Amino acid sequence: MKIVIINYGAGNIQSIKFAIQRLGYDAILSNDPKEIESADKVIFPGVGEASSAMKKLKDSGLDALVPKLKQPVLGICLGMQLMCNHTEEGDTTGLGIFDVDVLRFDTTVKVPQIGWNQITSLTSPLFKGINEKEYIYLVHSYYAPLTKDTVAKTDYGIAYSTAFHKDNFYGTQFHPEKSSVVGEKILKNFLEL
């Protein structure tokens, strides 16, 4: 199986690569459209600030490619947020795969949210064998509200989306590569879709 992690200069890609290795697979880091298109599974990571990450994606010419991919694609953290219509962070237009606008947490909660929270209402093959209320690791200041594509939700002041699934596109706000055995199982489910 060919697994490509999109390497556009905005992500903790080393940790994702290592997590995939621990599952017994290998992943290629690439920003080459041919490599990405020919992959069986594509991971779209993202860490940092939205507008600068989006600029890097555009500079590498991959903003047009990602929404056209046909194989399973998993956006992680900021990667998931960039797959949405828009994010308040840096007033950034996203790829429009998930039909939702990303907002900043209000000040009734500490921002960023850092730590382990629970996922519920799990409705995707991504969560095969995962129990309701399992703990996953999150670190973020912006969130995606609930939509028809929400396949996992979490409460932090309000209920919001911690995972999306639409056609061949998946997204997790949490970091499966840092969410202990639960995260590894979710990553394995994606790789074995």
Partner 1 sequence: MLTKRIIPCLDIKNGRTVKGVNFVDLRDAGDPVELADIYSKAGADELVFLDISATEERRKTLANLVLRVAEKVNIPFTVGGGISSVEDVDILLQNGADKVSVNSSAVKNPQLINDLAAKFGSQCITVAIDAKQIEGEWIVHLVGGKVPTQLNLFDWAKEVEQRGAGEILFTSMDNDGTKDGFANRALARLSSELNIPIIASGGAGNSKHFVDTFVQGKADAALAASVFHFKEIEIQDLKKELQDKNIPVRL
Q: Which residues are catalytic?
A: 77, 175, 177
Which of 111, 158, 159, 193 touches partner 1 (CB under 8 A)? Answer: 111
Q: Closer to partner 1 at the Cβ: 130 or 169? A: 130
Q: Closer to partner 1 at the Cβ: 67 or 112? A: 112
Q: Closer to partner 1 at the Cβ: 168 or 180? A: 180
Give the integer Cα–Cα distance in Å for 56 and 71: 23
The answer to whether 114 contacts partner 1 (rule: CB under 8 A) is yes
161-180 residues near partner 1, rule: CB under 8 A: 175, 177-180
Count of residues that bind partner 1 according to CB under 8 A: 35
Q: Closer to partner 1 at the Cβ: 156 or 169? A: 156
**Are 49 and 90 within 8 A, CB to CB?**
yes
Give the integer Cα–Cα distance in Å for 170 and 76: 9
127-146 residues near partner 1, rule: CB under 8 A: 135, 137, 139-141
Which of 29, 35, 37, 47 touches partner 1 (CB under 8 A)? Answer: 47
Which of 58, 104, 110, 128 touches partner 1 (CB under 8 A)? Answer: 110
Give the integer Cα–Cα distance in Å for 166 and 99: 10
Which residues of this chain interact with partner 1, rule CB under 8 A? 12, 14-15, 18-19, 21-22, 47-49, 107, 110-118, 135, 137, 139-141, 155-156, 175, 177-181, 183-184
